[in-house]
Amino acid sequence: MILEKIAAKTRIRVEERKRQKSLEKVKKEAYGRKNKNPFLFEKALRGKDISFICEVKKASPSKGIIAEDFPYLDIARDYEKAGAAAISVLTEPEFFLGSDVYLREIAAAVDIPVLRKDFTVDEYQIYEAAILGAGAVLLICALLSTEQLIRFRQIADELGISCLIEAHDDAEIKKALAAGARIIGVNNRDLRDFSVDINNSINLRKEVPADVIFISESGIKTAENIERLRKNNVQGALIGETFMRSADKVKELTKLYGPVRIPRTKICGVSRMEDIDAINMVQPDYIGFIFAPSRRQVTSSRVHEMKVPLSSSIDAAGVFVNEVTAAIINAAHSLALDVIQLHGDETEEDIIRIKKETGCAVWKAVRVKDSSDIDKWQNSAADLLLFDTFSGTEAGGTGHSFDWSLLERVDRPFMLAGGLSSKNIARAIRQAAPWGVDINSGVETDGVKDAVKIKEIMSIIRRLK
Ligand SMILES: O=C(O)c1ccccc1N[C@@H]1O[C@H](COP(=O)(O)O)[C@@H](O)[C@H]1O
């Protein structure tokens, strides 16, 4: 069978590698590296809805060459922008024309975790995967004994990387579970004859406990396929060919995932006249002017100037941090602001007074450390809560995102902020379903707004429906 052929070649490859660099050396290197985000792969797959693992694959034994032109870094970046939870990269060189170079460069270029898709037959490959920057390795039940699965999983655990343990039938699922699998992937492709049947994973879902992440692999092509997987509590879909053959990854993932409600958009921290042209071009719902001390800080006279060419359909928000209430009220009137965004330690009394005396909508920024920060503000008089990343030193504009799953407890419409960029906006919108998104440092280059990035993020958002 093909699997045995590939495994035999892989064993030879690994032995050659060991001659170039000893097992001791790779081990030392793997344990010596800093894993900033242990087990990110499995965390990324624990969303409340189905997640996508999109594959970067040049060829396969069943399909031959899939991508003549193979700009692997662009493909990976496009997957990330489309909202993939993780990326799978083929590194097997002979049958899939994969390469470790692809994995290393992709892992460095994206923020989402990367699976090393190879035929693991030796622990050596797990150390290699860690060194290359992988967040997960593939262990195939048909190639490994239960003892090997356990040993390899333990090594991966020590390195902080996850194992996707692949099974094809009931017996292999039992084996994966006996090995302590936390993620099981069921291949819909029968490697004996390459036939594909998505029912294979659907039928086997019930054999896997609910707390084990279940991935359906291969042959997933349509929104109907995804809907069936979703209905059968499948947490992830690993998709290669369908995405590789699609020129527009954002469009393809949207087609498979299904449409979402498009949130209101706000571009914040606008401080230069030339930024107004870029803003008018893409027509967000709001523009934000930061009056608080910040590298994005603006004066009232600058805002006055910028509002002249600003499209009348775009509402203006003023962002304040612990400002004297009278000064906020004054700015709201003199600059005809529509929204007051409060990022400091303002109280409910401040919110109520500002609302009453300005007639503006008041958005209260809540910097989220844990769920108690959210609970404290659920009944606020603010028109909207704006959830942002907590920082001990900055009131906002950190450029970092936070754990959006904390927002599942919010029972009112909200704005989502904190490190939103083209890389994560699709995932953020699908996962958090915000009323609006506030985009700031994610559309900057060298500290100033970047018209190309503004255009790109707005285009991604609008294509999610
Ligand atoms: O951007 C700033 O400099 C800033 C300063 C003080 C308060 C708020 C600020 N910006 C707001 O911060 C969030 C998140 O921004 P980012 O995407 O992480 O850069 C956003 O609401 C901005 O309006």
State the pLDDT at residue 86: 98
Per the residue annotation, which of 117, 249, 266, 364 is the catalytic one?
A: 117
Token pair for 46: 């624990």
DSSP state, 196? B
In this prediction the pTM is 0.96
| Mean pLDDT for the chain overall | 97
Among all chains, which residue has been given the structure tokens 């490959």? 125
57 catalytic residue (yes or no) = yes
Q: Where are the domains of the chain?
A: 2-257, 264-462
Question: What is the CATH topology of the domain spanning 264-462?
Answer: TIM Barrel (3.20.20)
Q: Which residue among 264, 290, 457 has the greatest number of ligand 1 atoms within 8 angstroms of its CB, and so is best to mutate? A: 290
pLDDT tens digits for range 28-66 = 999 999 999 999 999 999 999 999 999 999 999 989 999
Tell me which residue of 132, 135, 26 sits closest to 86, measured CA to CA.
135
State the pLDDT at residue 418: 98
Asked whether the domain spanning 264-462 has the same topology as the one spanning 2-257, the reply is: yes
Beta-bridge mates of residue 264: 436
Phi and psi at 196, nearest 5°, equal -120, 130
User: With 90 as the cut, is the pLDDT of residue 193 above it?
Assistant: no
Give, using CA atoms, the residue closest to atom 22 of ligand 1. 397
CA of 420 to the centre of ligand 1 (A): 10
423 catalytic residue (yes or no) = no
Beta-bridge mates of residue 64: 60
CA distance 66 to 241: 7
Beta-bridge mates of residue 437: 265, 416
68 catalytic residue (yes or no) = no
CA distance 179 to 314: 57
Give, using CA atoms, the residue closest to atom 2 of ligand 1. 397
CA of 440 to the centre of ligand 1 (A): 6
CA of 187 to the centre of ligand 1 (A): 44
CA distance 270 to 279: 9
Contacts 24+ apart (CB under 8 A), 187-193: 187/217, 187/218, 188/216, 188/217, 188/218, 188/219, 188/220, 189/62, 189/217, 189/218, 189/219, 191/1, 191/2, 191/3, 191/142, 192/1
State the pLDDT at residue 194: 86
The CATH architecture one would assign to domain 2-257 is: Alpha-Beta Barrel (3.20)
pLDDT tens digits for range 378-407 = 999 999 999 999 999 999 999 999 999 999
State the pLDDT at residue 288: 98
CA of 241 to the centre of ligand 1 (A): 39
Burial classification of residue 95, based on how many CB atoms lie within 10 Å of its CB (0-12 exposed, 13-18 middle, 19 or more buried): middle
pLDDT tens digits for range 71-121 = 999 999 999 999 999 999 999 999 999 999 999 999 999 999 999 999 999
Token pair for 400: 């970092």
SS (H, E, C) 52-110: EEEEECCEECCCEECCCCCCHHHHHHHHHHHCCCEEEEECCCCCCCCCHHHHHHHHHHC
Tell me which residue of 106, 38, 111, 45 sits closest to 70, measured CA to CA.
106
**Ligand 1: which residues within 6 Å by Cβ?**
268-269, 288, 290, 292, 294, 296, 319, 321, 343, 386, 388, 395-399, 417-420, 438, 440-442
The ipTM (two decimal places) reads 0.99
Per the residue annotation, which of 42, 51, 57, 128 is the catalytic one?
A: 57
State the pLDDT at residue 80: 98
Give, using CA atoms, the residue closest to atom 19 of ligand 1. 397
Band (227; pLDDT cuts 50, 70, 90): very high
pLDDT tens digits for range 9-22 = 999 999 999 999 99
State the pLDDT at residue 453: 98
User: In whole angstroms, how large is the CA radius of gyration of the chain?
Assistant: 25
CA distance 249 to 298: 38
pLDDT tens digits for range 110-126 = 999 999 999 999 999 99
State the pLDDT at residue 431: 97
Q: Which residue among 264, 265, 266, 268 has the greatest number of ligand 1 atoms within 8 angstroms of its CB, and so is best to mutate? A: 268
305 catalytic residue (yes or no) = no
State the pLDDT at residue 447: 95
- CB 183 within 8 Å of CB 163: yes
Mention every residue, 6+ apart, whose C-beta is less than 8 A from residue 394.
none
Mention every residue, 6+ apart, whose C-beta is less than 8 A from residue 341.
288, 317, 318, 319, 320, 362, 363, 365, 386
Residue 156 three-state SS: helix
CA of 406 to the centre of ligand 1 (A): 20
Per the residue annotation, which of 218, 271, 294, 440 is the catalytic one?
A: 218
218 catalytic residue (yes or no) = yes
State the pLDDT at residue 1: 80
